[in-house]
Amino acid sequence: MRKVYVMGALGSRCKDVRLRLWKEYKRDNLSDMLQNRPEHIPENQWGHFVHMRFTEKWKKMQERNTKNQKKHTMPHVCGRKSFSRRRNEIKIKTGKTPSRAEFFIETRTKPNGSFVSEEAKTRVEALTILLSQNPHATNHAPASLDDVYAQVFGPERPGRVRCLGRGPTPSKLVRRSTVII
């Protein structure tokens, strides 16, 4: 379990370094890019890195990712801070672990009180109404597949559980909730 998490975190860090290098040393064409090698990176590694990014496959993937990123309408305001760190900060501040709904509200509200987008504002209003109708919803475990958050956003898809970060998957959440009951 920990090994999987650590390997995933390391993969994210490596991706971040590659992205930073690309942004810092990017040039318009392949030959300029190859000549603009950072001193601390061996020539053969830099050559592989640059050639990979100039392939058709890479360009198609980049276009697809750009298109998908534009569909993301409710970004969080955590910056580079992980969800687990942000969740822990909220826990220290309030004295209790936030539910997924509370966490969504907290991470989509800017410091000045406004929301990151109109869609986020609409979802926060729906979550707030449901939370006020059911005050016990915030006293249960921080997440379940039928909590207030799931009522507003719909069922989880395979992969990660929304608003919980890198660790939990829907199947792990189901297993944990059946063990508690």
Distances (CA, A) of 174 to 100, 139, 145: 15, 18, 7
Token couple for 80: 């580079």
Kindly state whether residues 66 and 34 are assigned to the same domain.
yes
Indicate whether 172 belongs to any domain.
yes
Task: With cut-offs at 50, 70 and 90, classify the pLDDT of residue 141.
Answer: low
Kindly state whether residues 90 and 173 are assigned to the same domain.
yes
- Single pTM value for the model: 0.70
Alpha-carbon gap, residue 151 to 157, rounded angstroms: 14
pLDDT in tens, 51-86: 999 999 999 999 999 999 999 888 898 888 888 889
Indicate whether 93 belongs to any domain.
yes
Indicate whether 171 belongs to any domain.
yes
Is the pLDDT assigned to residue 181 strictly greater than 50?
A: no
Which of 12, 41, 70 finishes a domain?
A: 70
pLDDT in tens, 84-114: 889 899 999 999 888 889 999 999 999 999 9
Domain that holds residue 43: 2-70
Alpha-carbon gap, residue 70 to 54, rounded angstroms: 23
Kindly state whether residues 131 and 175 are assigned to the same domain.
yes
Kindly state whether residues 43 and 8 are assigned to the same domain.
yes
Kindly state whether residues 40 and 97 are assigned to the same domain.
no
Q: What angle do CA 59, 75, 137 make, to 5 degrees?
A: 140
Kindly state whether residues 94 and 161 are assigned to the same domain.
yes
Indicate whether 77 belongs to any domain.
no
Indicate whether 158 belongs to any domain.
yes
Alpha-carbon gap, residue 146 to 134, rounded angstroms: 13
Indicate whether 75 belongs to any domain.
no
Kindly state whether residues 65 and 104 are assigned to the same domain.
no
**What's the pLDDT at 173?**
67
Is the pLDDT assigned to residue 174 strictly greater than 70?
A: no
- For the chain, the domain total comes to 2
Indicate whether 78 belongs to any domain.
no
Of 75, 76, 107, the C-alpha closest to 90 is 107
Which of 12, 47, 70 finishes a domain?
A: 70
> How far from chain centre, in Å, is Cα 47?
31
Kindly state whether residues 169 and 87 are assigned to the same domain.
yes
Kindly state whether residues 111 and 156 are assigned to the same domain.
yes
pLDDT in tens, 27-42: 888 899 999 999 999 9
Which of 12, 35, 70 finishes a domain?
A: 70
Kindly state whether residues 10 and 97 are assigned to the same domain.
no
**What's the pLDDT at 81?**
86
- Beta bridge pairs of residue 68: none
Is the pLDDT assigned to residue 148 strictly greater than 60?
A: yes
Indicate whether 76 belongs to any domain.
no
